[in-house]
């Protein structure tokens, strides 16, 4: 049973690798961004609440995101494994997730830190050609990511769940490294 949490800076390839690996393993790729969009589209109670915050330009509160993750992990397709992408983003969310997984009987998760040097990430993100992906904005996002995620890396490392994969390789090499982690 594969349960993976993907960490890594923006542009490290988390979303791409999570999708490929989830398809390969035939388990759901659970992205908090996708969960939010789907809940809003389906007009679920949580989606309506989230939409109200987003309409005001505010961040969706942690509790609401946690409730959405809980709702998603309770679905039948998640019983055979999953890849979580974009959650947790901080230690309080990791603690929530640990309790949730224990309650659901879904322990044994591994945390993959897909790491890549800032220069690689900046280059990849600039290559996407999005208007908001300026070098200055990207570097700020990396700074925020490193500040917010460093404690998370430490949290999972202390619990001996953290595995680091070099994201500064070809897509195929990263995928092979991920397969090796799962097989271990």
Query: Tens digits of per-residue pLDDT, 99-143?
Result: 999 999 999 999 999 999 999 999 999 998 888 789 999 999 899
What CATH number has the domain bearing residue 45?
A: 3.40.50.300
Full residue range of the structural domain in which residue 73 is found? 3-183
13 is in an annotated binding site: yes
Is residue 64 a contact partner of residue 50, using CB atoms and an 8 Å limit?
yes
pLDDT tens profile 162-178: 999 999 999 999 999 99
136 is in an annotated binding site: no
141 is in an annotated binding site: yes
58 is in an annotated binding site: yes
Residue 33 pLDDT > 90, yes or no? Answer: no
Task: Specify the number of domains making up the chain.
Answer: 1
15 is in an annotated binding site: yes
Gap between the Cα atoms of 177 and 183, Å rounded: 10
Q: CA 153: distance to chain centroid?
A: 13
The pLDDT mean for the chain works out to 92
* CA angle (97, 40, 46) in 5-degree steps: 45
9 is in an annotated binding site: no
57 confidence band (pLDDT: 50, 70, 90): confident
129 is in an annotated binding site: no
Residue 59 pLDDT > 90, yes or no? Answer: no
Residue 182 pLDDT > 90, yes or no? Answer: no
161 confidence band (pLDDT: 50, 70, 90): very high
Sheet with 2-7: strands ordered across: 29-31, 81-85, 2-7, 110-115, 162-166
Lookup: tokens for 21:
């690996």
| Residues 1-11, mean pLDDT to the nearest whole number | 92
């Amino acid at each position: 049973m594969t349960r993976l949490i993907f960490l890594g800076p923006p542009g490290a390839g988390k979303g791409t690798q999570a999708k490929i690996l989830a398809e390969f393993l035939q388990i759901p790729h659970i992205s908090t961004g996708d969960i939010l969009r789907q809940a809003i589209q389906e007009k679920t109670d949580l989606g309506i609440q989230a939409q109200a915050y987003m309409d005001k330009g505010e961040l969706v509160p942690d509790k609401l995101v946690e409730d959405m993750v809980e709702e998603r992990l309770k679905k039948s397709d998640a019983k055979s494994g999953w890849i979580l992408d974009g959650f947790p983003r901080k230690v309080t969310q990791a603690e929530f997730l640990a309790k949730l997984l224990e309650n659901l009987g879904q322990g044994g998760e591994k945390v993959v830190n897909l790491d890549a040097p800032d220069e690689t990430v900046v280059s990849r993100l600039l290559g996407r050609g999005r208007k908001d992906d300026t070098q200055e904005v990207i570097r700020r996002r990396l700074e925020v990511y490193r500040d917010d995620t460093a404690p998370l890396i430490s949290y999972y490392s202390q619990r001996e769940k953290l595995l680091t994969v070099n994201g500064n390789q070809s897509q195929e090499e990263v995928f092979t490294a991920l397969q090796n982690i799962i097989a271990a």
